[in-house]
Amino acid sequence: MVSPAPDASAPSASSAAASGAPAAQADPAAQADPAAQAETAAASAASATASVTVDDVRTAQKTLTGVARTTPMEGSRHLSSLVGSPVHLKCENLQRTGSFKLRGAYVRIAGLSPAERERGVVAASAGNHAQGVALAASLLGVASTVFMPEGAPLPKVAATRDYGAQVRLCGQVVDETLRAAQEYAHETGAVFIHPFDHPDVVAGQGTLGLEILEQCPEVRTIVVGVGGGGLIAGIAVAVKELRPDVRIVGVQAEGAAAYPPSLAAGEPVVLDSVSTMADGIKVGRPGDVPFGIVGSLVDEVRTVSEDALSSALLLCLERAKLVVEPAGASPVAALLSQPESFEGPVVAVLSGGNVDPLVMQRTLRHGMAAAGRYLWLRLRLTDRPGALAALLRELSVADANVLDVSHVRTDPRLGLDEVEVELHLETKGPEHCQDVAARLREAGYTVVLAR
């Protein structure tokens, strides 16, 4: 377990905030002095980093023996060719419960006193953390209650129940669910298990960093998806102590990127809104504990677009034969977006694979569109029997799959003997799209629109 700070009687700023106590006010003179501000910020970062050490991570690793799997690391030929050096995928999507969350949850609950265990634990999550807490508590013989949003995917709700938790559906968004869980903890005395903002959780997630160094000792860059920051903070603590030369890069979705403005401000900043398909990293504010570590040890935090996320998920499925959720695919999205900016060998952490089938369907469709695998055509034909059949034969020869067909006969721009046909086609990629459109033009068809 993580050892307490030397002055255990003095509450930290994060613990004061969590308990509702007012934070200590800064000295007005120090606020006015830029040098004093810099010194205070440096001291705060050093204190946060010291809150979790590599020894804590090693202790966590022993605690997780026989509980968490040492997940495999797979090479990616396609990504290696793009980056120009070896790229390995750390497959934490194959971890028990389908994500890395079991590591931190188990270490946190294992560190509770007998009296705390007797009161049980409570958590709030829409998926991965819920399952991690449920299984960890069950393995340790601790009662668990997990609050989940009312719209949480049914497979994730069912899995959380199957792991032994009592599930309560409450609220429309995670923030509402979180408040309900904290109220429950206050009323019942159950211990609230935070998904990322606790030293034990950070130490547990850091065991992934030790595994990476053992499996790929020659690694030069580690790429990690970032939500609240617990995973990347833990990895940074473990790796930077043993291999300070390794570059650690965090990745956030553009619509939920709380770390860049927070790092610029020198303190956690709350985003006004968050929007991304990657619900596993859809967090509006960095955790206090991870923030200090990230600011001190992580080399860079960059952002990726929704198109890049969906393309990355598609690549993992098609090329690596791995089912990965959008948040877990965020490191791959960063590699696809700027492959030349990474020094290899590179390890990309696939942090989870708990993706709802309906979300996967939509994401894969989006990824295929982003990859140029769909073609929309609008053509004009002579309105006579057999004209459409002839067009479809031409598309068959071109090896294009027709997904949808629509006839338009009432457009005033059309001649009396004309009909406009809209086609939605599945193709093999951008070059094939161009070939299909060119073939139709060569066959004498009037292509009004091709995109």
Residue 321, classified by CB atoms within 10 Å of its CB into exposed (0-12), middle (13-18) or buried (19+), is: exposed
Q: Nearest to residue 111, comparing CAs of 161, 56, 70?
A: 56
Residues belonging to the active site: 101, 351
Please give the order of strands across the beta sheet that includes 121-124: 166-169, 144-148, 121-124, 191-192
| Dihedral pair phi/psi, residue 448, rounded to 5° | -75, -40
Contact between 52 and 203 (Cβ < 8 Å): yes
Cα dihedral value 113, 118, 119, 120, nearest 10: 90
- Tokens 């547990």 belong to 204
- Reported for 168-176, long-range contacts at CB under 8 A and 24+ positions apart, including other chains, are 171/147, 173/149, 174/124, 174/125, 174/126, 174/149, 174/282, 175/284, 176/149
The DSSP line for 127-139 is: SHHHHHHHHHHHH
CA distance 398 to 377: 14
225: its two tokens: 């998806």
Q: Nearest to residue 355, comparing CAs of 292, 285, 254, 279?
A: 279
